[in-house]
């Protein structure tokens, strides 16, 4: 599709779509809890709908009236064998987290997804789950989907020092640990988003977190709850950056989730000199706020170490932000970008360089030379929603010509109304 290009400025207020990570988990926790769970502000994007359908396939009754989703939880023991292989679509969160839930079942489940999922490594989840006594195997003996998960009623606890900083891996182990007989200990490489830990507590579970060490005794029973999903800071990130780099702009973003394990992009914006104000709302369980950004003069910085897990999904749009900063920005320790929906290190460098950026891909990140003017080009999302949205924001910087984006439909995975929301801000 042809992308909208420079419209002089962006001004106004938008409501950010609901948090993708919490939406996934709300269905999962509702399914494995006893009793009714109601979910408000659920993200009806393709990925989260894949999770919803997966649990319907596992015998969980789920109602959706368009406003509220109601999950009639069965507890772990009430899950039933699916009559068919479960299709996770493009959702890495679905396939990785559900492996931990299936680890304690008494049946065999087949999991598959689209061409992107078929290329995403699963050993990082398979290895600890198999150590606990389940059997997870990949296609033809590899670590890649389709996967077969054979559960066991005799899951054993685990002490696991995570080799990668991954909330998905941690969450899968936690779901299995809730069903294991004894205390599991997980030691994180770096602290990652803690929605799963928060929701274990919200649903009445018992978990102890001390620094990077997590302890959980199983088996546990959870109880249905009301979940109100805040806005997704990963979706807000595209408009935060747009407001900072498009001339004469001011954008107000409502109901943005502010879980501290997810707010690395706010730290980066502040370090780069961006004009950003925060008005906190929400509550302890659902931290949120209103964010306002204005066009800013930015400076390059280094982004590395423990902040990386707090902004891993925002790095593509942060790379675009860095192309408009004065000086050099270096991103390190972000090798996890290689195993997302696409290799985001290569995708960001290749597509933005087509438009005139000066970006060097490295083994674990990017070196971005600013400040560069961008021009028209033919680009592709590679079927990756975050690359697609980043390229649309980049197109707003192009003064003449047309930017053509291939595979724009991928954006619906997490933000179906993205183009409509952007249009509301045109001045």
For the stretch 132-155, pLDDT in tens is 999 999 999 899 999 999 999 999
* Exposed e or buried b per residue across 86-120, where buried means at least 16 C-beta atoms within 10 angstroms of its C-beta: bbbbbbbbbbbbbbbbbbbbeeebebbbbebbeeb
Q: What are the tens digits of pLDDT across the range 221-262?
A: 999 999 999 999 999 999 999 999 999 999 999 989 998 989
Domain range holding 298?
A: 2-18+230-424
- Of the pLDDT bands very low, low, confident and very high (cuts 50, 70, 90), residue 38 is very high
Q: Are residues 80 and 152 in the same domain?
A: yes
Question: How far apart, in Å, are the Cα atoms of 183 and each of 102, 180, 210, 244?
Answer: 19, 8, 15, 47
User: Does residue 96 have a known ligand-binding role?
Assistant: no
Helices (H), 314-413: 315-323, 344-354, 385-395
- The domain boundary residue, chosen from 193, 228, 263: 228
Q: What's the chain's Rg over C-alpha atoms?
A: 21
User: Does residue 166 have a known ligand-binding role?
Assistant: yes
How many helices (H) and strands (E) would you count in the chain?
Answer: 12, 23
User: Does residue 120 have a known ligand-binding role?
Assistant: yes
Question: How far apart, in Å, are the Cα atoms of 184 and each of 33, 103, 127, 187, 237?
Answer: 20, 15, 15, 10, 35
Mean pLDDT of 321-342: 92
Q: What CATH number is associated with residue 175? A: 3.65.10.10
In which residue are the tokens 């290329």 written? 119
Active site residue 232: no
- Of the pLDDT bands very low, low, confident and very high (cuts 50, 70, 90), residue 400 is confident
Q: Are residues 58 and 190 in the same domain?
A: yes
Q: Are residues 127 and 202 in the same domain?
A: yes
User: Does residue 424 have a known ligand-binding role?
Assistant: no
Measured CA to CA, the distance from residue 328 to residue 371 in angstroms comes to: 9
Mean pLDDT of 352-369: 97
User: Does residue 20 have a known ligand-binding role?
Assistant: yes
Q: Are residues 178 and 251 in the same domain?
A: no
Q: Are residues 181 and 258 in the same domain?
A: no
Measured CA to CA, the distance from residue 10 to residue 249 in angstroms comes to: 5
Q: What are the tens digits of pLDDT across the range 71-92?
A: 999 999 999 999 999 999 999 9
Structural domain tally of the chain?
2
Which of 101, 105, 106, 110 is closest to 82 using CA atoms? Answer: 110
Contact by Cβ (8 Å): 170, 130: no
Q: What are the tens digits of pLDDT across the range 52-68?
A: 999 999 999 999 999 99
pLDDT value for 152: 97
- On the CB side of 66, how many CA atoms lie within 13 Å of its CA? 0
Which of 78, 22, 84 is closest to 51 using CA atoms? Answer: 22
Q: Are residues 185 and 332 in the same domain?
A: no
SS (H, E, C) 35-87: EEEEEECCCCCHHHHHHHHHHHHCCCEEEECCCEEEEEEECHHHCCCCCCCEE
Find the distance separating the first CA and the last CA of the chain, reported in whole Å: 22
What does pLDDT average to over the chain? 94
pLDDT value for 401: 84
**For 370, phi and psi rounded to 5 degrees?**
-110, 170
Which of 311, 247, 302, 299 is closest to 274 using CA atoms? Answer: 299
Q: Are residues 357 and 241 in the same domain?
A: yes
Q: Are residues 292 and 411 in the same domain?
A: yes
Q: What are the tens digits of pLDDT across the range 252-279?
A: 999 899 989 899 999 999 999 999 999 9
User: Does residue 310 have a known ligand-binding role?
Assistant: no
- Three-class secondary structure of residue 253 per DSSP: strand
User: Does residue 25 have a known ligand-binding role?
Assistant: yes
Provide the 8-state DSSP code for 17.
P
Q: Are residues 293 and 239 in the same domain?
A: yes
pLDDT value for 283: 58
Measured CA to CA, the distance from residue 343 to residue 413 in angstroms comes to: 17
- The domain boundary residue, chosen from 228, 248, 279: 228
Q: Are residues 222 and 270 in the same domain?
A: no
Question: How far apart, in Å, are the Cα atoms of 48 and each of 168, 251, 300, 384?
Answer: 14, 27, 35, 15
Given 46, 87, 313, 384, which residue is catalytic?
313
Q: Which residues contact 209 (CB under 8 A, 6 or more apart)?
A: 194, 197, 215
Q: Are residues 392 and 283 in the same domain?
A: yes
Q: Are residues 13 and 84 in the same domain?
A: no
- The domain boundary residue, chosen from 228, 253, 281: 228
């Amino acid at each position: 599709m042809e992308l909208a290009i420079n419209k002089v400025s962006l001004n106004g207020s938008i409501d950010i779509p609901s948090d993708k990570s919490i939406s996934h988990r709300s269905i999962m926790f509702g399914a494995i809890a006893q009793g009714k769970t109601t979910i408000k502000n659920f993200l009806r994007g393709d990925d989260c709908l894949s999770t919803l359908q997966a649990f319907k396939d596992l015998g969980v009754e789920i109602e959706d009236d368009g406003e509220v989703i109601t999950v009639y939880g069965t507890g772990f023991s009430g899950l039933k064998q699916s009559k068919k292989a479960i299709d996770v679509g493009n959702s890495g969160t679905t396939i990785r987290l559900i492996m931990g839930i299936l680890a304690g079942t008494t049946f065999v489940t087949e999991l598959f997804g689209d061409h992107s999922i078929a290329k995403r490594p699963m050993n990082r989840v398979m290895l600890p789950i198999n150590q606990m006594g389940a059997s997870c195997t990949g296609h033809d003996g590899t670590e890649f989907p389709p996967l077969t998960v054979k559960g066991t009623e005799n899951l054993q606890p685990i002490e696991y020092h995570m080799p990668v900083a991954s909330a998905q891996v941690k969450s899968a182990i936690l779901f299995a640990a809730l069903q294991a007989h004894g205390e599991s200990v997980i030691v994180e490489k770096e602290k990652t988003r803690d929605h799963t830990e928060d929701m274990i507590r919200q649903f009445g579970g018992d978990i102890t977190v001390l620094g990077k060490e997590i302890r959980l005794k199983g088996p546990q029973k959870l109880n249905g709850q009301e979940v109100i999903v805040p806005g997704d800071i990963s979706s807000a990130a595209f408009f935060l950056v747009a407001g900072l780099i498009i001339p004469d702009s001011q954008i107000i973003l409502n109901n943005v989730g502010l879980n501290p394990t997810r707010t690395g992009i706010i730290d980066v914006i502040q370090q780069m000199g961006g004009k950003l104000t925060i008005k906190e709302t929400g509550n302890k369980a659902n931290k949120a706020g209103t964010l306002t950004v204005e066009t800013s003069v930015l400076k390059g910085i280094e982004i590395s170490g423990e902040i990386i897990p707090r902004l891993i999904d925002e790095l593509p749009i942060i790379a675009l932000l860095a192309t408009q900063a004065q000086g050099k920005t270096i991103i390190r320790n972000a090798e996890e970008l290689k195993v997302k929906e696409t290799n985001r290190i290569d995708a960001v460098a290749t597509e933005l360089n087509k438009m005139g950026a000066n970006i060097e891909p490295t083994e674990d990140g990017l070196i971005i030379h600013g400040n560069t003017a961008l021009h028209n080009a033919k680009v592709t999302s590679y079927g990756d929603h975050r690359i697609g949205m980043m390229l649309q924001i980049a197109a707003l910087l192009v003064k003449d010509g047309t930017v053509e984006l291939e595979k724009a439909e991928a954006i619906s995975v997490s933000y179906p109304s993205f183009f409509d929301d952007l249009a509301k801000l045109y001045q």
